[in-house]
Amino acid sequence: QGQLVESGGGLVQPGGSLRLSCAVSGFIFSLYTMNWFRQAPGKERELVATISPAGTTTNYADSVKGRFTISRDNAKNTVYLQMNGLKVEDTAVYYCNVKRNGDIWGQGTQVTVSS
């Protein structure tokens, strides 16, 4: 079916940076669009960024455009989310996702932006 394992979350001050990673196994990574979602306390899960199978097309939520960058390394079966200029409102659990015979989710990684 597939397995997604996120890492790289943590506590950072406003204006800081983090890079999230999502290691993928169990399917041919290079064939699939990959997504990053996030869910803040009391809010619905929202799509943050998407990257096409070859990495040539990316899309972002308006709230993160210009600050976040999604990328992938198909040789390493890994997708990344570089987050710069972090804001308090970016605090959430971040999830890696692929739509393959339904949704496959990672376990999530906590990002906390606080002074």
For residues 114 and 88, is the Cβ–Cβ distance under 8 A? yes
For residues 109 and 47, is the Cβ–Cβ distance under 8 A? no
Token readout for 73 is: 């390394």
pLDDT in tens, 68-78: 999 999 999 99
pLDDT at 1: 82
pLDDT in tens, 99-114: 998 999 999 999 999 9
Q: What percent of the chain shows pLDDT beyond 70?
A: 100
How far CA 88 is from CA of 14, 21, 96, in Å, comes to 6, 21, 21
pLDDT at 16: 98
The mean pLDDT of the chain is 97
